[in-house]
Amino acid sequence: MIYLNYLIALFLMIAFAKIFGLIASKIHIPEVVGQIFGGIILGPSFLGLIHRQDVVVSLAGLGAVLLMFVAGLTCDVDRLKKYFGPGLIVAFMGVIFPVASIYFVCRYLQVSLIESAFIGIVFAATSVSISVAVLEEMNELKSSAGTTILAAAVADDIISIVLLSVAIPLLGIGRGHGNSDALLLIVLQVIFFVFLWLCYKVVTLLIDVLDLSPQKIGLYSFLLCLFLSGTAEMVKLSAVTGAFFAGLIFSKTEFQKPLTSRLKGMGGLLAVPIFFVSIGVEMQVTGILKNGWLFVILTLLAVVTKFVGAFIGARISRIDKFNSAEIGAGMISRGEVGIVIAQAGLASHFISTSYYSTLIAVIVMTTIIAPLILKPVVLLKRKYKN
């Protein structure tokens, strides 16, 4: 196994991200897909130059944090409030379909009850950071569908973590978990959202009182983003949820435009490409070879059930079929959220190492497939609505 100097690893990840992203754009597929493929080639499945244990890969989550911070900055809070109701329905339906379908199919394939239940929970989650990159590339992030996807992703994150919290004591396994732990976690998550509201009030007050330059506000906003992302992880929410709300806090200030410009430059140059490459690094061919049929079946189920569930949720909310299809496609990706839940399941003995590697392969595959579906759906919507 080859372990490179971290600077060489950093060079390779950025170089492969740019090269394969450029190739992807030349053949008219989303750049993020090319960047993920670059990671697959660099990772253990092919060249074996980059590994999950590398320092650079460990820091790749910063890219997702910056991506979602910018998404929060550019989001219209009033529109987000307007579409939060539909987003909640989309999230709920987008959780029911994959969890139930995958559980029953796994049981039919004679996977144990506990592993079947947990595999279903893994695919309840949505990682909207992938969709955000594609929507921004196509100028769809501020559309009604884009705003609904963002609202649904926040709700989806909370529902998935609550499911995980409840599953631990109900399934009766793991180390040191109980009903009191699950209840405490839910209380802490409620406190976290109250704390977000307090942060918004304090930041608004300080900006009104203090004479801050764009340079200073840039530093302070980034520090708040890191703090809220870390705090979100401490209460078992994803870091990107904290980052998104940090962006929302600054979205209505006079510094919104300069902050967006600076962070897009910093993230696009370094952190965000590394994040997408790191997702590809997670892919291991062994996970496909060990359980080939399970990999194929779970990939199909993960894509179809999330799309159908989110599409039905959008239609229930009286959203037209074209925007509903865009929302369904935007919710498919599991990405880092699914990986985090799968890692928690492995640590708590919910799933075996054999199934874990298969789950990671499926999660990466949904991350590749999602933008490939989302882009043509958006183009189709524009063709028929304009």
CB-CB neighbours of 264 under 10 Å: 17
First and final C-alpha spacing in the chain:
54
pLDDT at 178: 47
Cα–Cα distance for residue pair 103/98, rounded to 1 Å: 8
Phi, psi of 217 (to 5 degrees): -65, -30
CB 294 within 8 A of CB 352: no
pLDDT at 173: 44
Q: Are 49 and 42 in contact (CB under 8 A)?
A: yes
Which has the closest alpha carbon to 374: 65, 127, 86? 127
- In 3-state terms, what secondary structure has residue 112? coil
pLDDT beneath 50, residues of the chain:
173-178
How many C-beta atoms surround the C-beta of residue 78 within 10 A? 10
Query: Given this model, what pLDDT does residue 283 score?
Result: 75
The CATH fold of domain 58-385: Na+/H+ antiporter like fold (1.20.1530)
Contacts of 259 (CB under 8 A, 6+ apart): 73, 214, 217, 218, 221, 250
Q: Residue count of the chain, please give it.
A: 386
pLDDT at 140: 86
Helices 214-234 and 61-74 cross at an angle (nearest 10°) of 120
Those residues whose C-beta lies under 8 Å from the C-beta of residue 292, and which sit 6 or more positions away, are none
pLDDT at 371: 87
Distance set, CA 363 to CA 97, 159, 195, 370 (Å): 17, 18, 32, 11
Annotated domain spans of the chain: 58-385
pLDDT value at position 177?
46
How confident is the model at residue 165, as a pLDDT?
A: 63
